[in-house]
């Protein structure tokens, strides 16, 4: 009754129209009246499933309410906010409450314990609103200057695979799933905290992404970051990153017993980072504080301490018995724990996870946006860069790495070729790949499997390993399509392969020309019938000596000059004469004259000159060749004639060949043109994916001595296991591969040669002294001497430079400009590459030199190296230092345009340096910083001149003041202060002039008398005639875009390269000083050190 009375009273004070809009035509019934806040309530939210309400108000409190069918009451109050609470809500999947407020914080509360788990603080912005994504673990918060999106915890469930089993953590249990039977069963109940891992995981994500500060209370359990499994002792290690790094060791029950009771198992705990198994009963743990690797037994007792040989190490990964991979932010090393030495190392930025192949012969290093593939000795094979995060990876049995990103499932071959397999609706973590079946686990720790089509990467792998029979089978079965495959084949030098399944005539023509298949190109040209096509075909056919096709092309294009010259070279005078007649009939006098000269037909040439009206030239030519009759017909000259020496015709060229087509060396015919009706033809049987594991073993390179020879010998004696995956219906029943002991590993194509002429009979076993397989096929071919096999070209110098390049300077010197620009974008956030134009050219040309060659031969190119497969980079620390000195000299001489150009060149040259020591790196960074300050000073002076021309005195004084706050050399700083003092005095800003004079005197042993007089005069007139935004009593930096002071406490962004300061509104723009970096972009950092 009291509530209804209040409503009626409120209605009486509201106009009727407004009353109807608010309450409707009927009565509004108030169900609950919740009282408890002392000031205005800003936000109220319902729990998605429970009868709970959360509210936030201006009394700086968050209150939790419970409701029932008949009443509602306050449950508890969350206290901690220091200003008004703007918004609060429940987490949809965890027992958490999230709130934000005008105290510039976001707070996460434990709904059950009523305690604050985490506080994220942003220095400059107040938070106003929150929103939770309905399906994913994302939360958005709006603040004064924008919005942030974050997640509260790690979503990747810890898991490990071993042979046919998957071990993973779900809720409070360690579970196991058998890949063959798909049986999922709990093994052990473990200790889990109700907050599900709040703490460092949340603070790290927000703090790193948005630059805020986070306060995380101690003793909060985070989700396990990784898991390791010991198959011999049947135990599991769980690594946590909370509290400086901890680990838990659980022993799993053997047999089929599984979980017994509801009591969590008590683990053996310890402190350390990256615990992993390095032996049957040994664990390696990184003690980051002392930079040691602790070797412990399964009783968690330390048995040995090994010095960590990588400075700044922050995680360990398993690498086999007695070895461990140690990583820091820049590289990964393979450390031998027995001999206490570094076996190998590789550069890899911020590696998160490591995935070994089944036989431990190759390893994939997974970073945030990078995938590095290496051998067991960390020899680099390939690097893949992604624009989105890489989530997981697993090795295919054939040696292909299949990895998942946020929204795609992709593959990468050992040589670096990669592509997309399919699109993912939700992110998944790949656990195993077998044929067309991919096993995975999702963010809810639910295992699954889906089918893929491995045809594309299997085709590329077979092509890479020269399994041409399998490639041909896949083509004939039409299992490939798409322009991407065609472009890949053309790029990799296999245009003849692409010809077998291309239907577009223009594409077929281009591929045929590239592969030298003139007959196919001719058919395509006849279909297209375009002059450009015929001209291209003529050039290609002429290179291969196919005269018939060249003649046809010239005829189609009606190119009389080229056609006549071709006939002259071939010695066919009759056809050349016909060309002369055709030229005459078409009144092409120039063509007929040239043809007559080719044929030595002087009379024909004279007739052409006479017909064109060139009588004087005709008389001279007739006199030179003694044709008196023709002279009479042409008539005498008016001056009586001139004496002409007797002329001779040039000797006619000898015919190049008596045949219509030039001779060529007969070579072996490719597998793709092999006659299927030949007697030795054998159809390929079995699936191309069946023997993938054997292919991987055959292609594996031999390791150098001292690493795993005994292990490899043992592996070599073991029979290859047949893999069966019953998950996918598409998988066929496993077949035992046929064992071939006949030695036919060279394939069935060695007898398929096109020798021309009569067929050559192969020698019988009696002639060779044994069976067909005792003599090598290549030796037989050499003995027959009937064909020539060209040797395969090896990688060139620039290819080797590119493969071994780790720095931008090496890539530019090798000519890999695209890779260099991608690396610059990632390392320094390069947004504009125009500044690198001249520097790229200098570095590229600086490692190449031309030496004098033979007469009529091109000059050979010499590539200059500084080491094995390393180019000599022309930009050196000494040359950059000289540029800095020259720029400073130009600055002192007030040649500001020259100084700006030189400092800009310095800024563009520093990323291309190749340095060897930390001292040199520091010198390079100092020169970059100095160049930035001088460029800022030059920008101030340039804008000051513009303000002076516009009559803006206040702006002129402000820019002169900004000039003095650039970090210049002391001599140059004095010049800047003197200039600013004079400008301020002329503008009658005596306070500023006095300040500049005092700064000029401070620290100067010989202060100028002019400054002393300035102080005396200005102290008597402490006024400013103009209002200028400049206060030298407050700390500030010069804002680079508008050249105004940016005081302490104001938001700022910096350039990703030169670190110039900008307003937050400039985020995403190109830096105006270096003209290279992107404002506000978070880059990896400049890398110019070789190791």
Q: What confidence score (pLDDT) does residue 858 get?
A: 77
Tokens 């992107």 sit on residue: 1078
Please write down the HEC assignment for all residues of 351-396.
EEEEEECCCCCEEEEEECCEEEEEECCCCEEEEEECCCCEEEEEEC
Q: What confidence score (pLDDT) does residue 947 get?
A: 92
555-559, 731-735, 897-901: the lowest-pLDDT one:
731-735
Distance CA 418, CA 412 (A): 4
Helix (H) or strand (E) segment spanning residue 956: helix 953-964
CB count in 10 Å sphere of residue 679: 6
- Residue bearing the bigger pLDDT, 711 or 445: 445
How confident is the prediction for the chain on average, in pLDDT? 78
Q: Give the pair of three-digit tokens for residue 435.
A: 């044929």
Whether residue 900 has pLDDT greater than 90:
yes
18-32, 347-361, 453-467, 731-745: the lowest-pLDDT one:
731-745
Whether residue 57 has pLDDT greater than 70:
yes
On the CB side of 336, CA atoms within 13 Å amount to 12
Distance CA 47, CA 886 (A): 69
Whether residue 723 has pLDDT greater than 70:
no
Percent of the chain with pLDDT over 70: 75
Q: What confidence score (pLDDT) does residue 970 get?
A: 87
> What are the residues facing 148 on neighbouring strands?
141
Q: What confidence score (pLDDT) does residue 1061 get?
A: 93
Q: Are 810 and 1087 in contact (CB under 8 A)?
A: no
Helix (H) or strand (E) segment spanning residue 966: none
Q: What confidence score (pLDDT) does residue 941 get?
A: 92
Q: Give the pair of three-digit tokens for residue 684.
A: 């390929």
Across residues 609-620, what is the average pLDDT? 74
For the chain, give percent helix, strand, coil, nearest 5. Answer: 35, 25, 45
Burial class (CB in 10 A: 0-12, 13-18, 19+), 505: middle
Residues of the chain with CATH 2.130.10.10: 41-151
Q: 203-211 long-range CB contacts below 8 Å, 24 or more apart? A: 203/118, 203/120, 205/150, 205/151, 206/106, 206/120, 206/148, 206/150, 207/120, 209/148, 209/150, 210/122, 210/148, 210/150
Distance CA 423, CA 19 (A): 54
Q: Give the pair of three-digit tokens for residue 515.
A: 């592969």
CB count in 10 Å sphere of residue 117: 19
On the CB side of 344, CA atoms within 13 Å amount to 16
Please write down the HEC assignment for all residues of 1013-1028.
HHHHHHHCCCCECCCC
Distance CA 619, CA 662 (A): 42
Q: What confidence score (pLDDT) does residue 685 get?
A: 34
Distance CA 130, CA 117 (A): 18
Helices (H), 145-235: 200-210
Radius of gyration in angstroms for the set of CA atoms belonging to the chain, rounded to a whole number: 41
Distance CA 563, CA 574 (A): 13
pLDDT band at 676 (very low <50, low <70, confident <90, very high): very low
Tokens 């290549």 sit on residue: 778
Question: Which DSSP state fits 1078?
Answer: B
Q: Give the pair of three-digit tokens for residue 1042.
A: 């508008």
Strand order across the beta sheet in which 105-110 lies: 85-90, 96-101, 105-110, 116-121, 213-215
Q: What confidence score (pLDDT) does residue 23 get?
A: 52
Q: Are 1022 and 1046 in contact (CB under 8 A)?
A: no
229-238, 675-684, 995-1004: the lowest-pLDDT one:
675-684
- Residue bearing the bigger pLDDT, 978 or 16: 978
Percent of the chain with pLDDT over 90: 30
Task: Encode pLDDT of 835-888 as tens digits.
Answer: 999 999 999 999 998 888 776 677 888 889 888 888 999 899 999 999 999 999
Contacts for 770 with CB less than 8 Å, ≥ 6 apart: none
Distance CA 277, CA 292 (A): 16
Question: Which DSSP state fits 330?
Answer: S
449-453, 475-479, 739-743: the lowest-pLDDT one:
739-743
The C-alpha angle 59, 61, 63, rounded to 5 degrees, equals 125
Burial class (CB in 10 A: 0-12, 13-18, 19+), 940: buried
pTM of the model: 0.54
Task: Encode pLDDT of 346-391 as tens digits.
Answer: 988 889 999 999 888 999 999 989 999 999 999 988 899 998 999 9
Q: Give the pair of three-digit tokens for residue 946.
A: 């513009």
Contacts for 633 with CB less than 8 Å, ≥ 6 apart: none
Distance CA 1000, CA 1008 (A): 8
DSSP reduced 3-state for 832: coil
Whether residue 99 has pLDDT greater than 90:
yes
Helices 16-23, 2-12: axis angle to 10 degrees equals 140
Distance CA 947, CA 951 (A): 6
Q: What confidence score (pLDDT) does residue 496 get?
A: 65
CATH number of 41-151: 2.130.10.10
Contacts for 433 with CB less than 8 Å, ≥ 6 apart: 394, 395, 396, 397, 402, 439
Q: What confidence score (pLDDT) does residue 392 get?
A: 93
Q: What confidence score (pLDDT) does residue 500 get?
A: 65
Q: Are 83 and 103 in contact (CB under 8 A)?
A: yes
81-90, 158-167, 187-196: the lowest-pLDDT one:
187-196
Distance CA 506, CA 525 (A): 8
Q: What confidence score (pLDDT) does residue 373 get?
A: 93
- Measured in residues, the chain has a length of 1091
Q: What confidence score (pLDDT) does residue 462 get?
A: 83
Task: Encode pLDDT of 779-813 as tens digits.
Answer: 444 444 444 556 667 778 888 888 888 899 999 99
Burial class (CB in 10 A: 0-12, 13-18, 19+), 107: buried
pLDDT band at 659 (very low <50, low <70, confident <90, very high): low
Q: Give the pair of three-digit tokens for residue 675.
A: 């006659």
> What are the residues facing 336 on neighbouring strands?
323, 341
Task: Encode pLDDT of 250-289 as tens digits.
Answer: 998 876 556 655 677 888 889 999 999 999 889 999 998 8
- Out of 1.10.260.40, 2.40.40.20, 1.25.40.470, 3.90.105.10, select the CATH number for domain 478-634: 1.25.40.470
Q: Give the pair of three-digit tokens for residue 484.
A: 């991407």
Q: Are 489 and 468 in contact (CB under 8 A)?
A: no
Distance CA 40, CA 27 (A): 25
Helix (H) or strand (E) segment spanning residue 957: helix 953-964
Residues of the chain with CATH 1.25.40.470: 478-634
């Amino acid at each position: 009754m009291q509530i209804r009375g209040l409503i009626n009273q409120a209605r009486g004070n509201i106009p009727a129209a407004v009353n109807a809009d608010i309450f409707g035509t009927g009565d509004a019934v108030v169900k609950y009246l919740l009282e408890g806040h002392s000031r205005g309530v800003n936000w109220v939210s319902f729990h998605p499933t429970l009868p709970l309400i959360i509210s936030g108000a201006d009394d700086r409190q968050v209150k939790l309410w419970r409701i029932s069918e008949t009443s509602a009451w306050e449950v508890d109050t969350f206290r901690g906010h220091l200003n008004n609470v703007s918004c609060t809500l429940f987490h949809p999947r965890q027992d958490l409450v999230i709130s934000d407020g005008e105290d510039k914080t976001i707070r996460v509360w434990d709904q059950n314990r009523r305690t604050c788990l985490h506080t994220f603080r942003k220095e400059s912005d107040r938070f106003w609103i929150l929103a939770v994504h309905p399906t994913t673990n994302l939360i958005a918060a709006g603040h004064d200057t924008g919005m942030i999106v974050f997640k509260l915890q790690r979503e990747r469930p810890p898991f490990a695979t071993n042979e046919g089993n998957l071990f993973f953590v779900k809720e409070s249990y360690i579970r196991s799933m058998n890949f063959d039977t798909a049986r999922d069963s709990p093994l052990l109940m473990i200790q889990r905290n109700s907050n599900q891992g709040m703490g460092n995981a949340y603070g790290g994500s927000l703090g790193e992404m948005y630059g805020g500060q986070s306060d995380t209370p101690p003793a909060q359990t985070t989700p396990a970051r990784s898991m390791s499994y010991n198959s011999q002792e049947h135990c599991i290690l769980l690594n946590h990153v909370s509290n400086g790094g901890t680990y838990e060791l659980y022993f799993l029950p053997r047999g089929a017993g599984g979980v017994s009771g509801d009591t969590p198992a008590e683990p053996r705990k310890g402190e350390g980072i990256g615990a992993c198994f390095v032996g049957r009963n040994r664990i390696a743990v990184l003690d980051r504080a002392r930079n040691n690797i602790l070797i412990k037994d399964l009783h968690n007792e330390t048995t040995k301490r090994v010095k960590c040989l990588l400075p700044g190490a922050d995680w360990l990964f398993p690498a086999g018995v007695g070895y461990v991979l140690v990583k820091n932010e820049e590289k990964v090393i393979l450390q031998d724990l027995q001999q206490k030495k570094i076996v190998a190392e590789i550069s890899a930025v911020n590696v998160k996870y490591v995935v070994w192949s089944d036989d431990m012969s190759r390893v994939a290093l997974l970073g945030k946006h990078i995938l590095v593939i290496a051998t067991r000795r960390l020899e680099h094979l390939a690097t893949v860069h992604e624009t989105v995060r890489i989530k997981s990876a697993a090795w295919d049995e054939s040696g292909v790495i299949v990895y998942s990103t946020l929204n795609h499932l992709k593959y990468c071959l050992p040589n670096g070729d990669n592509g997309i397999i399919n699109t993912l609706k939700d992110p998944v973590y790949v656990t195993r790949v077998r044929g067309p079946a991919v096993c995975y686990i999702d963010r809810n720790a639910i295992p699954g499997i889906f089918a893929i089509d491995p045809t594309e990467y299997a085709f590329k792998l077979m092509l890479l390993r020269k399994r041409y029979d399998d490639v041909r089978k896949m083509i004939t079965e039409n299992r490939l399509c798409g322009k991407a495959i065609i472009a890949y084949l053309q790029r990799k030098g296999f245009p003849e392969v692409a010809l077998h399944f291309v239907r577009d005539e223009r594409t077929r023509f281009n591929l045929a020309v590239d592969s030298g298949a003139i007959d196919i190109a001719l058919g395509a040209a006849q279909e297209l019938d375009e002059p450009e096509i015929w001209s291209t075909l003529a050039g290609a056919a002429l290179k291969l000596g196919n005269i018939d096709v060249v003649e046809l092309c010239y005829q189609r294009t009606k190119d009389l000059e080229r056609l006549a010259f071709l006939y002259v070279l071939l010695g066919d005078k009759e056809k050349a004469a016909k060309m002369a007649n055709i030229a005459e009939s078409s009144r092409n006098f120039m063509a007929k004259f040239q043809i007559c000269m080719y044929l030595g037909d002087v009379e024909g040439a004279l007739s052409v000159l006479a017909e064109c009206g060139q009588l004087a030239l005709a008389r001279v030519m007739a006199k030179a060749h003694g044709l008196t009759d023709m002279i009479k017909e042409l008539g005498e000259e008016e001056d009586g004639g001139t004496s002409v020496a007797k002329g001779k015709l040039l000797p006619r060229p000898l015919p190049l060949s008596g045949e219509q087509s030039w001779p060529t060396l007969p070579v072996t015919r490719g597998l793709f043109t092999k006659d299927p009706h030949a007697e030795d033809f054998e159809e390929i049987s079995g699936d191309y994916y069946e023997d993938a594991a054997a292919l991987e073993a055959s292609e594996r390179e031999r390791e150098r001595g001292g690493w795993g020879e005994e292990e490899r010998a043992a592996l070599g004696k073991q029979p290859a296991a047949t893999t069966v995956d019953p998950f996918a219906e598409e998988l066929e029943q496993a077949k035992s591969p046929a064992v071939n002991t006949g030695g036919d590993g060279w394939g069935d194509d060695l007898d398929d040669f096109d020798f021309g002429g009569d067929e050559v009979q192969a020698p019988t076993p009696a002639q060779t002294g044994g069976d067909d397989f005792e003599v090598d096929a290549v030796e037989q071919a050499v003995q027959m001497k009937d064909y020539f096999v060209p040797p395969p070209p090896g990688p060139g110098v620039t290819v080797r430079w590119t493969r071994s390049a780790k720095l931008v300077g090496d890539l530019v010197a090798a000519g890999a400009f695209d890779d260099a620009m991608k690396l610059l974008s990632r390392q320094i956030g390069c947004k504009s590459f125009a500044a690198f134009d001249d520097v790229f050219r200098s570095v590229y040309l600086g490692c190449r030199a031309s030496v004098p060659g033979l007469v009529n031969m091109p000059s050979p190119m010499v590539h200059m190296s500084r080491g094995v497969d390393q180019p000599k980079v022309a930009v050196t620390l000494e040359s950059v230092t000289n540029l800095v000195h020259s720029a400073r000299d130009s600055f002192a001489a007030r040649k500001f345009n020259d100084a700006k150009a030189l400092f800009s060149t310095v800024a563009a040259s520093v990323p291309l340096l190749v340095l060897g020591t930390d001292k040199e790196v520091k010198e390079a960074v100092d020169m970059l910083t100095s160049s930035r300050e001088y460029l800022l000073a030059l920008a101030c002076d340039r804008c000051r001149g513009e303000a002076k021309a516009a009559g803006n005195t206040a702006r002129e004084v402000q820019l002169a003041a900004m000039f003095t706050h650039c970090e210049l050399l002391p001599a140059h700083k004095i010049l800047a202060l003197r200039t600013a003092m004079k400008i301020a005095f002329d503008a009658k800003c005596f306070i500023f002039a006095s300040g500049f004079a005092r700064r000029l005197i401070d620290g100067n042993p010989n202060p100028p008398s002019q400054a002393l007089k300035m102080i005396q005069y200005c102290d008597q007139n402490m006024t400013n005639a103009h209002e200028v935004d400049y206060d030298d009593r407050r700390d500030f930096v010069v804002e680079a875009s508008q050249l105004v002071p940016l005081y302490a406490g104001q938001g700022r962004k910096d350039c990703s390269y030169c670190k110039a300061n900008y307003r937050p509104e400039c985020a995403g723009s190109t830096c105006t000083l270096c003209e290279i970096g992107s404002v506000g972009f978070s880059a990896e950092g400049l890398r110019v050190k070789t190791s």
